[in-house]
Structure 1
Amino acid sequence: MGKYEEDAKRLLKEVGGKENINAVTHCATRMRFVLNDPDKADQEAIDDIPSVKGMFTNAGQFQVIIGNDVATFYNDFKEASGIEGTSTEDAKSVAKKNQNPLQRAVGALAEIFAPIIPAIIVGGLILGFRNILEGVDFGGATIVDRSTFWTAINDFLWLPGEAIFQFLPVGITWSVTRKMGTTQILGIVLGITLVSPQLLDANEVASTAAADIPQWDFGFAQVDMIGYQGQVIPAMLAGFLLAYLEIFFRKHIPEAVSMIFVPLFALLPTIIAAHVILGPFGWWLGNIISNVIFAGLTSSVSWLFSFAFGLLYSPLVITGLHHMSNAIDLQLIASEVTSHTTSLWPMIALSNIAQGSAVLAVIYLHRGNKKEEQVSIPAMISCYLGVTEPAMFGINLKFIYPFVAAMIGSGFAGLFNNFMDVRANSIGVGGLPGILVINSQIGGGYLAFAISMVIAIVIPFILTVVFRKRGIFNKEDREDSTAELAAVGATAGDIGLSSSEEDTAASLTDTQKVTEKLFAPVSGELLKITAVDDPVFSQKMMGDGYAVKPTEDQIYSPVAGTISSVFETKHAIGILTDSGVEVLVHMGLDTVELKGAPFTINVKENDQVSSDTQLATMDRKAVKDAGKQTDVLTVFTNGDKINSFALVGEGEVTAQEDLGEIEVS
């Protein structure tokens, strides 16, 4: 009988049986299902299976979190179900077939914008800071009016701000080619041709007389020499045309000469089409979208529009449709009609705050529940900093009533925000830091947005408390269930244990506590686990831990102990410490799909290791070229054994450096 045979049989039954499974695979921590009918999966029953640590749906896959022993579970599941697994890539391919055209389009948008969001965030912070330097009046003069030093700083910061937003088409065309698996340098060159200094700047077109717009005169035709600085749609259209032309010519040009003719026949026609057809069409379409949205935000029913947007943005995040807002926001910023600002982004930042405030109320209502606080407190912080998924999937959607309270609070905050005509100069900076990108010259500026933030904090908090106490949108988390929560930390006698249970509790209390030292597994930047771009790890579904964004390829053991497992795909290694802590060393994110190619493993099961032991080598360049992140994670997967966990280091660390310790009972 397999270790997980009973749990595997229960999972097979609760996902809807063998006939409901289209494909199944696993990664380092999760079972990944593509279900024919996802509604047949009984999530409450699955959550009750002892070996299941959580579940969520992403990109058409129903993912069940098992933990470090997922490979063993997977083998038992195959035995119980009689289903042979598929590769992760095949599962993804099948999952995409289950998505409708809108979901696939939104997924494509997400994949295009995700790699350039960090640059947009940096640009937003820079613009926000420059906005304060040159836009805020302090006693009749701005900071740059009063200081030569700050004037120079303001002028210098124009360089990165200009590079990020003026040359945004370069990032978009590169990202499209990256997503499509075509030649990325051609995407960069195409983007440069859209923003070349030889062209009339897109921001100057509206103020330039038609007769003064430069042209290429071919005799039989004239083409306007107009740039597409900051434009989104022309760059996306051009990027996709380039990618599809390259794919087409790769199939039809002999390999012996493909190095010469594929780039030539793909790039040159795309550049021509971009300036003759795609650019003007994309500009026209972008202006229509901007005008329609701006009209909705400034019409007599703008209050309804803004309330609905604030109310419904969080549900859009669940579906993934919120990725469309990035393109719309950037299009609004590129438009002369909106004075190069957007009214949508401030409302998105307020939605982040509202979700975090609902979690804050749950923390207050469930105070004393230490296990839940391991998820709720980091989730609240990440919300206030602009990332809502941990809070929504880890807490608010679990109880429903805080999610609804956050939606309502976000709606009222958005309504007030739009009433005061608050706008942002850029996107990417969400949550409380979102105030840095607010335009101080239009509408209510900083003060109005600050009031909106207060609304987004107070209303969700109050409504969450009221909904819970009165049972509104709340079937499970009743007030009378707090006895269980209050029992945390109580003595055995206080909660009515039997005499044998009291003895067990007393013996556990008396158990001597030991500490385990923690070390940096690789040189690089030390990160909190909540900063990792994977909800399973950032929400601590697998357990607490830490991560390092590496600057070297050599991976060392973060603890002393024994190798308990080496994953077949080489991207993860399990270690058991002498005190019984199960440690997962996970190299990169989603690197199970790379099938071990970038990894060289130096250890085997049952090897004794310490901080001096090099576990593996990770080819960071190969991981990055595959579109994956290189974060190296150290995760404690049996957190019930850990009393406390503290890191003494932060920022840049060196491999094998002493980072802190965990206290184990």
Structure 2
Amino acid sequence: MADKYQTIATGIYAHIGGPQNVAKLIHCMTRVRITVRDDSKVDVDGLKKVPGVLGVAQEDTLQVIVGPGVVNKVAQAMVDQVGVGLGEPFPDANSSESYAAGKSAVEAKAAEVHAAQKAQLKQTWWRQALKHISAIFIPLIPAFVGAGLISGIAGILANMQTAGDLGTNWTTFITVLKVINSGLFTYLNIYVGINAAKEFKATPGLGGIIAGLIYLPGVVAPVTLPNIFTGSALVAGSGGIIGVLFAVWVMSYVEKFFHKVIPDSVDIIFSPFLTLLIVGCFTIFLVMPAAGWVSSSLVGSINWILHVGGAFAGFMLGLFFLPMVMLGLHQILTPIHLEMIKSLGNTPLLPILAMAGAGQVGAAIALWIRCRKNKQLTGMIKGALPVGVLGVGEPLIYGVSLPLGRPFITACVGGGIGGAVIGAIGGIGATSIGPSGVALIPLIANGKWLGYVFGLLAAYAGGFLATFFFGVPKSAMLAHDVEGNLINASGATVASATDASSIDVDQIMNATPVAGADTNLVATASGQLIQMSAVKDATFAQKMLGDGFAIVPNMEAIVAPADGTIISLTETKHAFTLKTDSGLELLVHMGIDTVELGGKPFNFNIKPGDHVSHGQQLGTMDLKQVQAAGKDTTVITVITNMDAVATLSQYNDGAVEVGSPVMQAHNK
């Protein structure tokens, strides 16, 4: 990519008389602004023909239009060739010594910055995997909390009904609660598939379909699909969460490949068709059987551990059950529970496995105490802890312990300690399967609920102590606000946790637009809506950068035109770029030639990586100050990657309210 920008920079120099004819160079959001020494040496016609140059405007400075996202890199390449900074005077044409010295200095600085950046980005594959897991599951935390609380209440009431403490008149209410809870957990694979596709930069809908294949929809007895490794019938649900994550990850590469090789005119037809066909078969015939083999191996291991008996068996089961939950493989234990209840009258396995969730609770309490300055983390623990006590561990696993790494391990240790206590006491079983945690107490057989409570307390204590002393990452103890922004000793926001760890703005910017998606664009300001052709700037009026709409504002508030991620904000804050969730690249430019005002009329707090919603206020523009400086206040919104747009609706001139619909773009 660097060669591309160097080529544009070299082409510009070739048609303006070389670097020696430049006195100073800066850039705004779309244009390289060059102060030339001798205008007669500028070849405007040749400059317009340089690949990558969208247009040329000659005013007080020579303005070479190359577009947002490109302009800063081209301008930097141009000053790097000379050895000066942006806005700094260029060396005199006769001072070759000054030129060489400046270039040497900038090369040394570039090498230093590159080395520092490379060292900062060095991360292990495990840390990268945790970031992906966190990004996929954190959006589901509110759903986990809500459905988990309903599940816990339903579990307690159902257990009390089974024990004879409630009458049959509660059956309907309990059933309704279970139906609501099942809205999440029955289709959890699909939700994970959609989020995984977003994280891996694939089409969310396709990710949901691939995840849904795990359920084998459409396969109704006596029809079956074969397990190609064993010849037996494939079982619906084989693979679980880990199968979904792997299949969607593979799908993201397959889809991106087809988007590259299939012509744009038929891409929307053949890319999703071929992606679903190939990855669907891969998931059904390879991913699901492989996960089934893993499941069978785990069942054999668990049976062996049960025969060992005692505290050791309890410790091993409690220790390894959390990884099984994380991988979605815990459901394979249901037949074992039912067989034990049938032959013994209760299942001694369930109370032991319930200790794994109790270890999570202890670990979360330790994190709450040690990381009390981290408002984002403690807020998440507050929401996830109640359902964790009731035996629903997913919020604590995916939202708290697993993304941090070490607390997940120490929580497992806590579960092992609780399991060892249950195993050592012996004879503690549950008469039915259901939620764990305190919700399981009414189902403990033969009046041995007190032994189960001792196990819970031991798991709480084990998870707490192991995490408090060995499982708290230093980064988690740093002060953060509720949005994840890092806070310094004086209480000021210094950085965003997502900026440093998970948001890759370049990756978002380079992501392929979502085929066939619709983007609704809203008014970025209140005022008079006008056609682009009426804008008093040739670059926008002639649509050199793309198409869109313009508003002559009568109020100062500026809002986001669509849902998306902020890619850049100029130093003078007169313009910003946004990548919509559908893949369109938007430039919002406040006023004309307002770059010359040094940012004084503008107040914006957004930063690259921020995700914004349409109609959300991003900042203000002081209209009186702009007008007093003799500048036009028109706010222009431009789609700069029009090659991704199939159709763009028209609009009529007239009064418009901020945030109201203006136009719709339909992707190819």
The TM-score with structure 2 as length reference comes to 0.43
The TM-score with structure 1 as length reference comes to 0.43
